[in-house]
Structures are given as C-alpha cells and as structure tokens.
Amino acid sequence: NSKVIQTPRYLVKGQGQKAKMRCIPEKGHPVVFWYQQNKNNEFKFLINFQNQEVLQQIDMTEKRFSAECPSNSPCSLEIQSSEAGDSALYLCASSSGDEDTQYFGPGTRLLVL
C-alpha cells in the first residue's frame, strides 16, 4: 500500500479564493508528481519535481497554479485564485526516480463553489 500522505482530504473554496494542498511523498522518493483528475476520471499532469527542482510543468501550472517541494517540508500545490473549473481530485504521486512506478496518495478533493 502507498505511503504517500495528502492533506487535507477535502477542501471547499469560493471562487477567487486560494486553495492549498500538501503532500508527503514516500520515504526515499525524490520525485513527486501532481495530477488533476476530473469528474470524468481523466488525468491531467500538472507538475513534477526531483528533490526541490521542477522537472516539467504544463502551461496551466505556470499561471494560477504554484507548487514547491522544499527540503524537510511537505510538497505543496496552491491555486492562487480558484475557479469553478478547478473542482477536481488532486493527486500526488512519488517515485524512486530509478524506475518509473508511481505511488499515489488518496488525493485532495477540491470543490470550488
């Protein structure tokens, strides 16, 4: 079973509000991914890190979304100004980096009213 921890499990925000969620990867996993899963079960990759450095990110992430993985602290994903279309399950995954298996946390379900 995955040991990726995500908090909070549920988040309710009004439009325009900030939404912040956190992730603690499995111990010893330096690579962290954030995905958005919509109500149709479609996955959208947002950003990934190796240790504290961004490896890849999509355009959407560069605008209203910000993320970081500081050393000795949880990784975080923050939406600066939430929109209704941001309502989704946000999944954090981690991997060892030596191979490609990703282990997922339970997700943070964001509802933007």
Partner 1 sequence: GDSVTQTEGPVTLSEGTSLTVNCSYETKQYPTLFWYVQYPGEGPQLLFKVPKANEKGSNRGFEATYNKEATSFHLQKASVQESDSAVYYCALGDWQGGRALIFGTGTTVSVSP
SS3 26: coil
Query: Cα–Cα distance between 6 and 16 in angstroms, integer?
Result: 23
Query: Count residues contacting partner 1 (CB under 8 A)?
Result: 31
Residues 29 to 68 in contact with partner 1, rule: CB under 8 A: 31, 33, 35, 40-43, 45, 48, 50, 55-56
What is the C-alpha separation between 7 and 105, in angstroms, rounded? 10
By CB under 8 A, tell whether 100 contacts partner 1: yes
Token pair belonging to 13: 């925000």
Q: Which residues bind partner 1 (CB under 8 A)?
A: 1-2, 4, 6, 31, 33, 35, 40-43, 45, 48, 50, 55-56, 91, 93, 95-107
